[in-house]
Amino acid sequence: MMMAAHRTIALLPWYQFLNGLLFWQAVWFLYFQSTLSGAEAIILYSVYDISVTVLEVPSGYFSDRIGRRLTLLLSTLCSLLGCLALALGGSFSLFVLGQALLGAGVAFKSGTDSSLLYESLEHAGRANEIEAQEVRIWRFTLAGFALSAVLGGAMSLWFPTLPFYATAGAYALAALIVWRMEEQPRTATEAVTMQLASLRAAFLNPVLAWLFGLSVLMYGFSHLPFVFGQPFILTALSNMGLAAQAPLVSGAVTCAMMLVSVLASLVALQLRRAIGLPLLLLSAFALQIALVSALAISTSAIVIGILLLRIVPDSLSTPFILARVHPLLQAGTRATYLSLKSLGGKVLFAVTLLFAATTAQDAGHLPADDLQRILGWYAIGGVICLATLALMARRIMIEPSQKTE
């Protein structure tokens, strides 16, 4: 079983690379908007988040009770079918089905992949590598994002649905990778009451509670440029008479964005040691807010360059948040807690997006005035939340102590 744990650790980065091959990521809003209105395109993203809302916690519980490997297999199957539904497209109802399936795929993966990594490292006697391994896996994920973004933008110019078919193929390969993984034998499962008690203890832990709140907020601010970046690029290029090039430019921007984030991840460990965990995480959140503020202020093509920084805050926060919470959680509730954390971010973001959709124009492309007004309100709210988290961090030991917790 020791060799199996080492093999699983070695396979997980490649699994994440294949999950990062989202060839549709740079053109999905443009693809929806070619058939539907801008407001309907926003609603479709909310459908994705609502789907995750329904399955996020049950999938985490399923992972803790039944097993990590089966949960990841279900994740790849749902994602594959979702991509095929979106590729067939043509109607709002079929788009809704595709988005719901993609949301289910994310829900089953959420928390399970990271839990499998930590438990495999722990079994192999390598638990102290968790930060370095999380950063390494993050690089593989970003590499998949970067490669698929530029290729997906080019694919869409040739055949609009090809990016979705290509992504389905990547998920099929990911399923084969999961099939070769192994997880540690399940210990006797805890009673539901004991699991609830463990979760309650986790949320009463000041460090876990603070990281939970930060993660929920950073999820939304990370995805704002993802949702509104494509209409922003389209607006900026339309002002220059280059609207037809939006898919290709969007793909190139997304690819460059991921490469910049890979570079950021190369110095993330050194930066974390230099300034400490609390300041690093707060700085990452501040960078997200600054990016949204820049998009709210101007629709100039020059601002497109700022989008290259979109994933940098995630490179400086996500691996370290995961590495910090794992030792503080019980194995029987680890995936459930991580699913609840993801659920919180998706619910908050979906609710705010639904509200934003009600303030947007009901037909046609999302206008620049609507775009800037929506992002402006997000920026103001972000500054208030950042100040609150910074004040709370002064009273909580976010940085782990030298002795084992």
Q: Which of 85-89, 243-247, 292-296, 344-348 is least confident?
A: 243-247
On the question of pLDDT at 405 being above 70, the answer is: no
User: What is the per-residue pLDDT across 62-75, written as a single tens digit (0 to 9) for each?
Assistant: 888 888 999 999 99
Per-residue pLDDT band for 53 (boundaries 50, 70, 90) equals confident
Residue 108 pLDDT > 80: yes
Distance CA(212)–CA(392), nearest Å, equals: 13
Question: In terms of residues, how long is the chain?
Answer: 405
The CA distance from 213 to 211, in Å, is 5
The answer to whether residue 172 sits within a structural domain is yes
In a domain, 167, yes or no: yes
221 contacts 382 by C-beta, under 8 angstroms:
yes
Stretch among 192-206, 282-296, 331-345 having the lowest mean pLDDT: 192-206
pLDDT confidence bin for 140, thresholds 50/70/90: very high
Any domain includes 383:
yes
Please tell me the least confidently modeled range out of 23-37, 108-122, 202-216, 331-345.
23-37
Task: Provide the token pair at 150.
Answer: 């530029």
24-38, 120-134, 234-248, range with greatest mean pLDDT = 120-134
Residue 398 lies in a domain: no
Q: What is the pTM of this model?
A: 0.76
- Is residue 404 one of the residues assigned to a domain? no
In a domain, 18, yes or no: yes
Q: Is 158 exposed, middle or buried (0-12, 13-18, 19+ CB in 10 A)?
A: exposed
Task: Report the CATH number that the domain containing residue 327 is assigned in CATH.
Answer: 1.20.1250.20
Domain total of the chain: 1
Q: What pLDDT is stored for residue 361 in this prediction?
A: 54
Could you tell me if residue 405 is inside a domain? no
pLDDT, one tens digit per residue, over 20-32 is 999 987 677 677 7
Does the pLDDT at position 105 exceed 90? yes
pLDDT of residue 272: 93
C-alpha 98/C-alpha 85 separation (Å) is 5
The DSSP symbol for 308 reads: G
pLDDT in tens, 355-403: 776 665 554 445 556 667 888 888 999 999 999 999 999 888 888 765 4
**What is the domain range of residue 331?**
2-184+192-393
The more confident residue out of 217 and 362 is 217
